[in-house]
Structure 1
Amino acid sequence: MATRGRGSACNGGGIVLGAAAVLLIGLLVMSAPPLAEAATYTVGDSGGWRFYAGGWAKGKTFRAGDVLEFKYNAAVHDVAAVDLAAYRSCAVPKGSRKMRSGHDKVTLRKGMHYFICTERGHCQAGMKLAIRAV
Structure 2
Amino acid sequence: MAFAKNVVALLLLTTVFGGSLGAVYKVGDSTGWTVVGNVDYNKWASTKKFHVGDVIVFNYNNQFHNVKQVTHKDFQSCNATSSIADYTSGSDSITLKNSGHHYFMCGFPGHCQAGQKVDIMVIPVSLRPTTSPNHASPPSGSPLTAPSPTPTINAASSLQYFKLWWALVPLAFLVIGFGY
Measured in 2, the distance between the counterparts of 1:104 and 1:68 equals 8
Secondary structure at the aligned position of 2:30 is classed as helix
Unaligned runs of 5+ in 1: 1-16
Provide Cα deviations, 1:22-73, integer angstroms capped at 9, x if missing partner. Answer: 69749x94xx7x7263011110111111233222112210000111100001
Aligned to 2:29: 45
Measured in 2, the distance between the counterparts of 1:25 and 1:68 equals 34
1:121–1:18 CA distance, 2 compared to 1 (3 A) = closer
Unaligned runs of 5+ in 2: 124-180
Measured in 2, the distance between the counterparts of 1:130 and 1:104 equals 16
- The answer on whether the counterparts of 2:50 and 2:122 sit within 8 Å (CA) in structure 1 is yes
- The answer on whether the counterparts of 1:54 and 1:127 sit within 8 Å (CA) in structure 2 is no
Aligned to 1:91: 79
Measured in 2, the distance between the counterparts of 1:104 and 1:118 equals 15
Secondary structure at the aligned position of 1:132 is classed as strand
Aligned residue pairs total 115
Measured in 1, the distance between the counterparts of 2:6 and 2:84 equals 55
Letter of the 2:31 partner, please give it: G
1:23–1:85 CA distance, 2 compared to 1 (3 A) = closer
Secondary structure at the aligned position of 1:57 is classed as helix
1:35–1:125 CA distance, 2 compared to 1 (3 A) = same
Secondary structure at the aligned position of 2:104 is classed as strand
User: Which structure has the larger Rg?
Assistant: 1
Aligned identity (percent) is 38
**Which is richer in helix?**
2
1:18–1:53 CA distance, 2 compared to 1 (3 A) = closer
- The answer on whether the counterparts of 1:48 and 1:70 sit within 8 Å (CA) in structure 2 is yes
Provide Cα deviations, 1:66-87, integer angstroms capped at 9, x if missing partner. Answer: 1110000111000000000000
Given the two structures, how large is their TM-score scaled by the length of structure 1? 0.73
CA deviation after TM superposition for structure 1 residue 100, in Å: 1.0
Provide Cα deviations, 1:103-125, integer angstroms capped at 9, x if missing partner. Answer: 01111121110000010100000
1:94–1:58 CA distance, 2 compared to 1 (3 A) = closer
Q: CA RMSD in A?
A: 2.6
For 1:72, which of 41, 52, 60 is the aligned residue?
60
